[in-house]
A and B are shown apart, each in its own frame.
Chain A
């Protein structure tokens, strides 16, 4: 166990966390502004990945696919907002959960009808394949660095959008007082559609970026969605800053836990049981952390309502 390996694993944890951030950002944005629990967020992630894989296959260009994935997810988001989600804002959370769960099933079966149940092929572009040497790490995949940079760029852009632009001002106003902003003559319907489409676009971006590294298949969004919910609960529901900190925390704890826990346990017990107990413990670790944080801060680290 060298310092270089520990550094590399921290980098891996950071990268994993930032991919989670892309999912959690849209989720927390939609909840913060509209008060909506959107289980179908994972489906928008899947839509992005499938659009990207399909366009990349047709055109041979990953970059066109990337653009298509983001736009496709945004369009799907805007569409379901106008058709379904719009009717849910005034309902309670149970209705929202039921309706968006139905959307998951519709998206999954719809995708299967169009693309079949076999996973699609999507690989990373030639320009970003291969590895690069970093200080202390002999070879780190370029594409993973690209994901880190892309996610950080999204975080910065979101910050600028929300704190410096007119749209951002309206979003913040909508968060703190829905009725007042409507009374001031802001078209709240369009604002909500834009926010929802923005959240969907970030989910789509996440789907395309991650889809190239993982498998593009029906149901790919749900495991990520569960982690994204853990992130926003830890970070404080509705807070973009909380989502960023929460996702990096989860990424680091999960990655370092699953590698180093079995190694640490081997000091105390024999190999075989250290392996299985370590694996079992590390898969619980993020939920233990969530429980710990909620015990101290019941509303998460950065609660937007405060």
Chain B
């Protein structure tokens, strides 16, 4: 276990804060080993960077690895709540793990701040006053790409995703905002890494664009094979297949691809510059959107700590809900269901200083809120 108690300017914090603090204990459950560990590592590193930069000496952060297993995540949550008596849980990357942990934890009165997973259930009927999502609802980035495809004038888009809940939700999200026709719709196998057959279907369909959601290694395989196939139709997708943790593995095959994200490293603001520079300096690599989400999650908690004591649950919740912090993505506020209302950008994959990375080229949707908010009884 890694114990992180950041040393720093406690005096400064107390004087600007004005509220006496007993200190906050945070339990982070995230994926640090096995497939998908780059996401968890980035969330953790972003989170720790924010604490370090703030000099938050009254925050105790406990980090544990869930190895992407729901049962492990559940056990860790129980340990954090019962043994360590944490005030706040955070860190889970995957929706199935979040569903195993969040409902029980929030019911017991523990606060949960999600830096990534945003399953529709937790945004709709099962929303909870102790649950805050500081990243996005799962459908958001796909909806943004659907809106982008409509604006870009695509009339025949071919869409594909793996055959599992997040995959079917992705295609549903895209279709919700896409006004053109579909040239074809395919569900691939989860974990599939050869896409020759699918690419042949895309070529034969006469599509004018391709939308895909293939997270992790699946996306790397698809893009490499697509670039080799001689199919010239433009490709687009959510940021998950073009984030900074996997772009180096795809290389130049990804150049020119449009992808949607709530954050980009080139958003011009003081806090974003501080984040990007600080991250590069501390870890020697470019931050991904996951790192930005970890960073924002920490800053959200720090902002609430300035307003209220964590032992006063109602006041602390109200302080969280105000979201009175400078998000690296720009404007940010919570909707009635404690999920973000935010702009979602379109980025393009470019080569800068010898590195393959993303550049923002426009806004896909402004002040976007998820569709499940109306099913949530909170206000």
Contact = CB atoms under 8 A, between A and B. Distances in A.
A208 to B, nearest CB: 14
27 contacts: A2-B204, A12-B197, A16-B194, A117-B41, A118-B245, A118-B246, A119-B246, A120-B249, A121-B250, A121-B251, A130-B228, A139-B231, A141-B230, A144-B196, A213-B221, A213-B228, A214-B225, A215-B193, A216-B249, A217-B249, A220-B217, A223-B191, A255-B197, A275-B186, A275-B187, A279-B163, A280-B163
Interface in B192-235: 193-194, 196-198, 200-201, 203-204, 216-217, 220-221, 224-225, 228-231
Contacts of B196: 12, 15-16, 141, 144, 255
Contact of B228 (A129, A217, A220, A282): A129
Contact of A258 (B185, B197, B248, B251): B197
B230 A215 contact: no
A22 to B, nearest CB: 13
Interface in A192-232: 212-220, 223
A117 B38 contact: yes
Contact of B221 (A12, A139, A214, A279): A214
Given A120-B249, A258-B188, A214 B217 contact: yes
Contacts of B198: 259
Given A215-B193, A279-B187, A119 B230 contact: no
Interface residues on B, range: 35 or more
Contacts of B251: 121, 123
Contact of A119 (B185, B189, B220): B220
A143 B225 CA distance: 10
A72 interface: no
B374 interface: no
Given A121-B251, A262-B186, A279-B163, A214 B197 contact: no
A58 B230 CA distance: 28
Contacts of A139: 203, 229-231
Most chain B CB within 10 A, of A214, A262, A280, A282, is at A214
A160 interface: no
Contacts of B41: 117
Interface of A: 2, 5, 8-9, 12-13, 15-16, 19, 109, 112, 117-121, 123-124, 129-131, 139, 141, 143-144, 212-220, 223, 255, 258-259, 262, 271, 275-276, 278-280, 282-283
A215 B220 contact: yes
Nearest to B185: A275
Interface of B: 33-35, 37-38, 41, 163, 168, 185-189, 191, 193-194, 196-198, 200-201, 203-204, 216-217, 220-221, 224-225, 228-231, 245-246, 248-251, 253
A279 B189 contact: yes
Contacts of A212: 224
B229 A223 contact: no
Given A109-B33, A215-B249, A283-B163, 10 more contacts: A117-B37, A141-B228, A141-B229, A213-B225, A214-B220, A223-B191, A223-B193, A255-B197, A279-B187, A280-B163
Given A117-B38, A123-B224, A9 B197 contact: yes
Contacts of A214: 193-194, 217, 220-221, 224-225
A12 B221 CA distance: 15
6 residue pairs, one from A and one from B, having the closest CB atoms: A215-B220, A279-B187, A119-B249, A131-B230, A215-B217, A12-B196
Contacts of A118: 38, 245-246, 248-249
Contacts of A129: 228
A50 to B, nearest CB: 12
B290 to A, nearest CB: 13
A139 B204 CA distance: 11
Contact of B168 (A9, A117, A220, A276): A276
Contacts of B168: 276
